[in-house]
Amino acid sequence: MSTTLIHRSTLPILRRRPRSVDVLSTSATERPFFSSSNSQGGASTPPGASASPSGATAAVPTSYAYISDMFKSFVSKVENPLNYLSVGTSKAIAKETVKVESKTQIIQKSNENRVSRSEVTAKTRALVKKILISETATSRLTRVRDLSEHIMAFPPTRIVAAQEQRLVAELLEMVIYGTSDQLKEEARQCLTLIGVQPPPKGRGVNVLSIDGGGTRGMMGLEVLEKIEKLSGKKICEIFDMICGVSTGSIIAALLTVKGYSVAECREAYMDVSKKLFTQGKFQGGMGLILQHSYYNTNLWVSILKKMIGEEVTMINTSKKLHTPRLAIISSIVNLPTIQPYVFRNYDHPAGRDSHYRGGTDHCLWTAIQASAAAPLYFSEVKLDNLLLQDGGVYANNPTAIAYHETKLLWPNEPINCVVSVGNGRTVTSVEPTPTVFSTSFQDKLLRIIDSATDTEGVHMNVHDMLPESVYYRFNPYMTYAYGLDEIDQERLEQMASDAAFYVRRNSSKLESATERLCLRPNVQQRVHRSVKEWMDLKGFYKPA
């Protein structure tokens, strides 16, 4: 490695450029370990990626991935959409000018929220002690809530709480033998925040992953309905972990949190689609120019709040008995590299942190909005210092993320079955298209977009990683390239027909997957889980 020497006489000429302060990136990287911020995070860069040099100013990437169908759709809806992009960008920048703070101001604000490690640890142990000495149900309910709020404010304190074996035993007793339903729910949420996981429902952990795809989610619902009929159970009663991205996040939330059957989910899903995607071209074009959003984002938010609930947070959904672990995937687009953001209704066991940033305290409707904020369809979502777009920008097939999160939650349990549901794919030609000179600009752009939104690449990797008897992928073929916002009745009926035909053709594979999902624990597993529960109740809990 060569070294360049600089003569002393040239030093006055070299002046260091003043470093620009990026409010978003600085506050994200300089957050103290014990901060009052509620956001949690894993690695700041994905495994294998190198961090940006400290002296370089990272440009905020503007991602227009996940618009393969979007780009084609807008060409037919809006005249000269690329002109709209250029005009809208300048107006949006002028409208959303961010006030830049000095580095000193940022550090001062950070110091105001900083609490010493010893103070936080002492408070955690004091709250634990109050739970252990409380006698009445009302007192226990209040103390458990206080501890839950404290852990959400300072996530690393879950490690301190998990080390208190008597606390875990006390909370488990409240859940198993308690008489107050409200106390049971609060204790169940507190155990979830500490990282204590319930045993799997079957012979091992059952995982469901649902792709994005707009209204094509109807095709994935056809597959899930077949599994529901074959098993005789609701989807939330079969799976331990459910992960969704974009339209998959909507389906996952309805099936998990609401406990809907697939038929109820389909009815609610289509009702939302018809309300949201019925809009004039002129209004959509103006939205593109002014807000980079073809559809009305405010209407979308109001629909979500009414359907899901305005006050329900991700962690609140863990209060119900037998509720699966839920992961909703979005994409962070204001970092040097695009990264996933995982909205969770669970926390990992102490000492087993995820590679991916995420949080538990955000509202469920916010999580769905961020996961389905498709570029040019809906506005981006600002979450603290992060800017989030559709999860399909990073991973339109979230199976690999779901597998990663599952192994962290149940490291000592086998993966019994992984079901990955796609929302439609077209039949592509296997022969290359003859060209005279080269591909057009539009073809080049669409190839880049297709590669960024590819779902079958993830499928191939997971297929090679897991045994054939464990991993099942269902992705119906489409006779027509349906749009993400398709609401034409004839097209919807054809879409349902395509999905029904696929289900009939793959009935034996669906039966095999359902049989695997319904396997009950064997004798050895039942004995092991009973012994572990007894040990935990006696105060011998150890994090996995």
Active site (catalytic) residues: 246, 390
- Dist CA 91 CA 496 (whole Å): 41
Residue 163's Cβ-count burial label (10 Å; 0-12, 13-18, 19+) is: middle
**Residue pointed to by tokens 């192994």:** 407
CA distances from 394 to 379, 401, 472 (A): 17, 11, 22
- Per-residue b/e over 31-69, b at no fewer than 16 CB within 10 Å? beebbebebbbbebeeeeeeeeeeeeeeeeeebbbbbbb
Q: How far apart are the first and last CA of the chain?
A: 46
Read off the amino acid at residue 30: E
Is residue 30 a contact partner of residue 114, using CB atoms and an 8 Å limit?
A: no
Q: Which two tokens stand for residue 100?
A: 């830049």
Q: What angle do CA 12, 18, 24 make, to 5 degrees?
A: 160
Comparing CA positions, the residue from 246, 205, 235 lying closest to residue 392 is: 246
Q: Which residues pair with 243 in a beta bridge?
A: 209, 327
- Dist CA 340 CA 392 (whole Å): 9
Is residue 419 a contact partner of residue 474, using CB atoms and an 8 Å limit?
A: yes
**Cβ neighbour number for residue 392 with a 10 Å cutoff:** 33
Is residue 469 a contact partner of residue 516, using CB atoms and an 8 Å limit?
A: yes
Residue 236's Cβ-count burial label (10 Å; 0-12, 13-18, 19+) is: buried
Secondary structure letter of residue 21 according to DSSP: -
**Cβ neighbour number for residue 220 with a 10 Å cutoff:** 26
